Structure 1
């Protein structure tokens, strides 16, 4: 099989609308790698993602979750992005660091419009992405209707990779349209190979032909083979899929259920074989592979130990105590939810947190000589749509509030502060009522 196995550390972003099941899928993906011994749940409040007290209290993602893991001896970082549109700044920034995005959706055609802004952002920036239709364990699931509705809001053609196998109203497995093998789900374990059901033969054949025709739109040799009724070589089909995914010409569609870990191992294998390398992503983003250290900050957080700048290493090797962006690196850390593990260094493709770079800001490109100019332009913060006045109970806390607000804005660029000259109030701007309510809770609990 043509693939990108052995291409170094890679990074995948999980994006999708609120309640599509991204953080549950994150937990299932980590369980599939052995990174967690027991898969947590939202109800129990014991997942790697959404580990903050605020997220667990609200039972929703309010910030980016970052988790490093290894799958089949390869390093991966998963960026689990909040689904609520009010917290979309984190997701937009994370996608600038990712090699590939998994767009997690529910099998519900009526919710397709909620995916539209995400698909447009990905298309505008040519970020390779796949669709994962989650919650296929729901008896009312309808992937066919969902795909039709999503195609209406996707610029690139959606290419079905799997045909679901159903037993009455239950999805029990799928047929892979390239390998033409059938798999039966086994909860918490890799799927087992089974015979392709006879009643699926026609649907499988038709879906496979549609997949090949979509790929043939970008390859004359494949088109000629199809016109001459020549069966393409399986390796050529995989090669076409990988190349067109990397160029954002197509959007492969997979199915599964994160809650019961169905289709999760197959998703991992697809990412391992199909996702572009970090070098390919750096080229897409406009970074030159010079061998010198080049990193870009995509998220800033405040930990107990101080400020952390979460970066993607685009070139070279980064080590603790070296000078980057005109400052000395005060520690390198790999993230696993809220847990951090100190490491000695990082290579191209790695995602790490750099400690105590007080002048570095989200979006900055850091090099040995200072702040770099490489890479395509970084989007500015989202414009505010909601505002509240902020005040302290005690006048003595005004200096502390100013410091806390500065840290809040540094962590979340979609927040901004204004001194209103007419009302003489300090006004906090953001993306909505929930966004600013969470910001107020963070001010009280974190800063």
Structure 2
């Protein structure tokens, strides 16, 4: 393969819901470009892009797959993305390193929930979108309804480039209003006949052509002037106008395809080769210093590694985008994230599992390297004269959590290593060894996401694991002031232990004033702040410690020990052993002994005084609350809303997005444990949701009672 220059490279992400036919379309593109001689099928498990064993096992894409084709003296780099919402991380990664989205729609279903979720990311990242309406030969194909949905969403910006003459099982022809020709295929597909548009379609085709001309002219002043003067544009001028309309997201072309029978795939690729924006046409990425990095092949070399995999008989494969400069085999580069030096081995242009060695890649190109020494997903390698780092990929928060452990405890270390490696392959698999919960927690985008993780661990790494529902990271706090004192005294020959601490606790919120007195059981306690220390707790919330000692009843050198004792109790709250937070502690009196007082004595006195005061201060349990947004078909809205309310949700509001209802709610994390399974069951897999931590809030009294009883039972069992 020759070295393509930056102005000859186009990077395209293939998106769409599960079942839309993305992998089949990719296979047809590879066939048309001559990369493969025979098209595989998903059913046969022999496609170029779905080649991992887990994908063959499940029958659809799990990982994004890169493939490149040489087409019309240009290089088109494609990334075929999984359609399931559980693998949305692949979509996010791919959109960040490509310049255009090819959105494949199933003609039976049109705009699905998964499609709309992906379209939100194209909007967020300001990526052009081209729509491919696929499976037009299905008996339930409804092209007109799909176009109606697109028009509802994008108005006149959604423009037809093609329309089918006969949707359904007899589909074999389209009218191309850009070319002003009709394409017709034999039943086996392949190379079409190129014919004049039939008389009965000419008026409709001319009207649609005129709309396409107007849409193309809108985006460039000289084209608009020519259009006003002549009323039309040449085909080349239309391509130019459409390209800039795509860059501005002011035009959304619509194409027809039957990928399974290779109908209209070649014509679609011609459009991609001619019209899709080049790398140089798009907004340039920004590095961590806020500097724009232009895709200049003459600049110093900078590579961003966006994906890694491990393949049998090959080992580590690292996929990169050349952000600037050029890269060759043998180049010595520096890893700006890890500080290590790296020598590039062979570099490849890829087509799924196939790799073609190349001599050079320049800015804007996408390629792969094998067996790099110290490169991880998200790292940047730089040449001399440049110190780029990139962190522009922002992944969605996880929404499905499970505690994970090996069946054989001897596999614990091996499991941890495998999980860290898999996180490198898919950063939306998150792994946490929770000191608080005493569990290893793995989080992902859904049940199937974690099911895939389990399959790979057990089949590839031979580690048998079990999943269980994770504990909830509750918090404890207080609701009213309370006072307590505690004397620690121990004598056992020689120097003893003695420390006495008197303290007041009260709930703390940011900016609240400090009273100068408190009253308990009719007795007033005056306090004054000699020293105030505020501690931001690593688990959230604060501890405010006030030294109010007067007269030297406790020497200041013992204050750190008292704080240490209080911290120890905060780490294991008195109610359920959960972390405690948002407490102000005022130490106002105490006693010490000239010989027996020491740090351990005051640490124990402080801890026990705090424990007693906390228990008498109206202690409450807090639970994590999440902001949850559910995207559901309108016909399932009632069921989804009713189910959310059964999950203790507070419904905040709803809005419509065409035929999709968007429901916003606040829901306790405890209630979200199996929500992805429930939602899928309720809606037949047609709904999805996102969730993000919001705050900690008091649990209802009945829930607190259950939690207290459950904790007491575990303590009794342990005793």
* Structure 2, unpaired ranges of 5+: 287-291, 336-340, 462-719
Equivalent positions of 1:49-64 (< 5 A) are 49-64=49-64
State the partner residue of 2:367.
Answer: 352
Computing the radius of gyration from Cα coordinates, the structure with the larger value is 2
State the partner residue of 1:367.
Answer: 382
TM-align CA RMSD: 2.7
Provide the rounded CA distance (Å) in 2 between the counterparts of 1:322 and 1:201.
Answer: 58
Equivalent positions of 1:12-411 (< 5 A) are 12-108=12-108, 111-154=111-154, 157-166=157-166, 170-186=170-186, 187-219=188-220, 222-223=223-224, 230-281=231-282, 283=284, 286-288=292-294, 289=296, 290-304=298-312, 305-324=314-333, 325=335, 326-369=341-384, 372-373=387-388, 378-411=392-425
Provide the rounded CA distance (Å) in 2 between the counterparts of 1:397 and 1:330.
Answer: 33
Residues 444 and 155 of structure 1, relative CA distance in 2, 3 Å threshold: farther
Secondary structure in 1 aligned to 2:66? strand
- Post-superposition shift, 1:335? 2.4
Deviation per CA, 1:313-369: give whole Å up to 9, x if none: 233221123222232223323322223344443223332112344543333333114
Question: Which structure ranks higher in relative contact order (CA pairs < 8 Å, sequence separation ≥ 6)?
Answer: 1
Q: 1:385, 1:431 within 8 Å by CA — same for their partners in 2? A: yes
Provide the rounded CA distance (Å) in 1 between the counterparts of 2:208 and 2:432.
Answer: 55
Q: 1:308, 1:356 within 8 Å by CA — same for their partners in 2? A: yes
Q: 1:112, 1:150 within 8 Å by CA — same for their partners in 2? A: no
Q: 1:24, 1:258 within 8 Å by CA — same for their partners in 2? A: yes
State the partner residue of 2:448.
Answer: 434
- Post-superposition shift, 1:11? 2.4
Which is worse superposed, 150-159 or 242-251? Answer: 150-159
Which is worse superposed, 338-347 or 256-265? Answer: 338-347
Deviation per CA, 1:285-315: give whole Å up to 9, x if none: 6422253222222212123443322011233
- Post-superposition shift, 1:167? 8.0
Provide the rounded CA distance (Å) in 1 between the counterparts of 2:171 and 2:227.
Answer: 31
**Total equivalences in the alignment:** 443
- Post-superposition shift, 1:229? 6.9
Provide the rounded CA distance (Å) in 1 between the counterparts of 2:459 and 2:354.
Answer: 19
TM-score (norm 1): 0.90
Residues 155 and 372 of structure 1, relative CA distance in 2, 3 Å threshold: farther
Q: 2:402, 2:441 within 8 Å by CA — same for their partners in 1? A: yes
Q: 2:84, 2:114 within 8 Å by CA — same for their partners in 1? A: no
Provide the rounded CA distance (Å) in 2 between the counterparts of 1:321 and 1:116.
Answer: 44
Residues 391 and 162 of structure 1, relative CA distance in 2, 3 Å threshold: same
Residues 87 and 277 of structure 1, relative CA distance in 2, 3 Å threshold: same
Secondary structure in 2 aligned to 1:120? helix
- Post-superposition shift, 1:226? 5.6
Which is worse superposed, 224-233 or 406-415? Answer: 224-233
Which is worse superposed, 15-24 or 161-170? Answer: 161-170
Which is worse superposed, 145-154 or 132-141? Answer: 145-154
Provide the rounded CA distance (Å) in 2 between the counterparts of 1:167 and 1:433.
Answer: 36
- Post-superposition shift, 1:210? 2.3
Q: 1:116, 1:154 within 8 Å by CA — same for their partners in 2? A: no
Provide the rounded CA distance (Å) in 1 between the counterparts of 2:223 and 2:309.
Answer: 48
Secondary structure in 2 aligned to 1:352? strand
Deviation per CA, 1:420-446: give whole Å up to 9, x if none: 334422111111110001011112233
Residues 159 and 413 of structure 1, relative CA distance in 2, 3 Å threshold: same
Residues 364 and 282 of structure 1, relative CA distance in 2, 3 Å threshold: farther
Secondary structure in 2 aligned to 1:170? coil
- Post-superposition shift, 1:151? 3.3
Provide the rounded CA distance (Å) in 2 between the counterparts of 1:307 and 1:85.
Answer: 26
Secondary structure in 2 aligned to 1:391? strand
Provide the rounded CA distance (Å) in 1 between the counterparts of 2:299 and 2:253.
Answer: 33
Residues 374 and 176 of structure 1, relative CA distance in 2, 3 Å threshold: farther
Secondary structure in 1 aligned to 2:299? coil
- Post-superposition shift, 1:372? 4.1
Provide the rounded CA distance (Å) in 2 between the counterparts of 1:40 and 1:427.
Answer: 39
TM-score (norm 2): 0.58
- Post-superposition shift, 1:111? 3.8
Q: 1:120, 1:154 within 8 Å by CA — same for their partners in 2? A: no
